[in-house]
Amino acid sequence: MKIGGHSPAWLLPAGFEDLGPARAEALERYRRALLDLFGRWGYRLVIPPMLEHLESLLTGSAADLDLQTWKVLDQASSRLLGFRSDMTPQMARMDAQMSRDHDQRRLCYAGTVLRALPDALGGSRAPYQVGAECFGVAGPEGDLEILSLLIESVAVCQDTSDCVLDLGHVAIARSLVASLGLDASLQARLLEAVERKAWPDLQAILEATPERASALAELTMLAELHGDREVLQRARSALGHHSVVQRALDDLDFVWGVLCERYPQLSIQCDLAELHGHRYHTGMLFAVYGPQRGEPLAQGGRYDGIGRSFGCDRPATGFSLDLKPLLRDGLEPSRGPRIWAPASADAALWRSISDLRSQGYTVVQGGPGPTVSAAEEGFDGWLEARDGSWVLVGSAPEFRFPAG
């Protein structure tokens, strides 16, 4: 079917997709499993609105989300609204509204976010984001808690034995750039070059200032500081005279050691030049990658001070994941037997169907028309009328329903 000679009416915009029954059911199972996991860790579920005033979504360090935020005009107030492209700023606002002095708050969430542009790999523009945020816990202890929860969250959805946890810390590059004493715009250009790992660009920015040659050497050294735990020791030897760098390396080493004990099957590496979201994050960065996957399965980091614009300047760390890509690789959850029942308004049949459903069975009652055998339709069993009662029959001997 064509409309006005254009695309079919059912064609969706680029970056959007339907979830059919199998994927939708899997997403809901994993969503529920993750929220139950978060609840056992003390994280309480909140549901922020899809739309907010634009200044709330883009306040402070969250301004980096501007290009990814869809804007609309609120005809009721004539103010600009934005569809959330990430839920973390909303968590900061809610924390600020609920907070008391020096308290700790653990929040979790699950829902669709909208992106104005696809990511570099052409992913969904409507990710289903699930995440957890910890407010009021400063230092590596808070990062360790969130990292542990991140790892266990990925394990809910897939086998983590082939996954890699990648660690970084934005304070390292930031402190090296700050030590140069350059104006803010030039520092921003340097950090952007490091984030893009554009080392020739970084060299070109600084080559006109010979007195900064040693600083240039330290910055370009970040390109080599990636790999296993011994990288931290190499970084201490070369950059440990910067107190901020030393503290960041101490935090990474502490977290690394504990995670090795808790999750010995997990591969861990670091990249001290990793700066994704450096205008947003303030400390440790982390991401989990699966085999043969370019985008992270889950990622997060420390973002202290995001609530400052809401009048609540607090330590904060958290992570999020998009459930949709995980459905491609996820472990297939078990399901109960599927039972077929014939079309009938018989009261005894209805009682049998209701009893089966209350025990967790899936029961599908057929409609009028040609009859197809339950076995041919892929059912595990069926209800059959025998001697005035309804009996559950099938090839599986473990059926426990006392029909009749």
Distances (CA, A) of 123 to 14, 119, 127, 276: 10, 6, 8, 18
Q: Are residues 309 and 262 in the same domain?
A: no
Domain ranges, residue 219: 164-274
Which of 300, 317, 334 marks a domain boundary? 334
Residue 351's pLDDT band, with cuts at 50, 70 and 90, is very high
User: Confidence band (pLDDT; 50, 70, 90) for 211?
Assistant: low
In this predicted structure, what is the pLDDT of residue 256?
A: 97
For residue 369, is pLDDT > 70? no
Name the pLDDT band for 184 (thresholds 50, 70, 90): confident
**The domain boundary residue, chosen from 305, 334, 363:** 334
Q: Which one is predicted more confidently, 368 or 300?
A: 300
- Look at the chain and report how many structural domains it folds into: 3
Least confident of 131-140, 311-320, 321-330: 321-330
Residue 268: CA atoms inside 13 Å, Cβ hemisphere, count?
25
pTM: 0.85
Euclidean distance between CA atoms 129 and 120, whole angstroms: 18
- In a domain, residue 4? The reply is no
Per-residue confidence at 404, pLDDT binned at 50, 70, 90?
A: very low
Do residues 186 and 320 both lie within one domain?
A: no
- Is 60 exceeded by the pLDDT of residue 330? no
403: pLDDT confidence band, cut at 50, 70 and 90?
very low
Q: Are residues 243 and 299 in the same domain?
A: no
State whether 25 and 152 are in the same domain.
yes
Residue 54 located in a structural domain: yes
Residues 77 and 109 reside in one and the same domain: yes
Give domain status of residue 253, yes or no: yes
Using alpha carbons, select from 99, 260, 35, 276 the residue that is nearest to residue 287: 276
What average pLDDT score do residues 111-126 get? Answer: 83
Query: Is 266 within the bounds of a domain?
Result: yes
For 232-261, the pLDDT digits (tens) are 999 999 998 999 999 999 999 999 999 999
Look at residue 343 and tell me whether its pLDDT is greater than 80. Answer: yes
Q: Which of 223, 242, 274 lies at the terminal end of a domain, its last residue?
A: 274
- Are residue 140 and residue 173 in the same domain, yes or no? no
For residues 200 and 143, membership in a common domain is answered with no
What is the rounded CA–CA span in Å between residue 377 and residue 369?
15
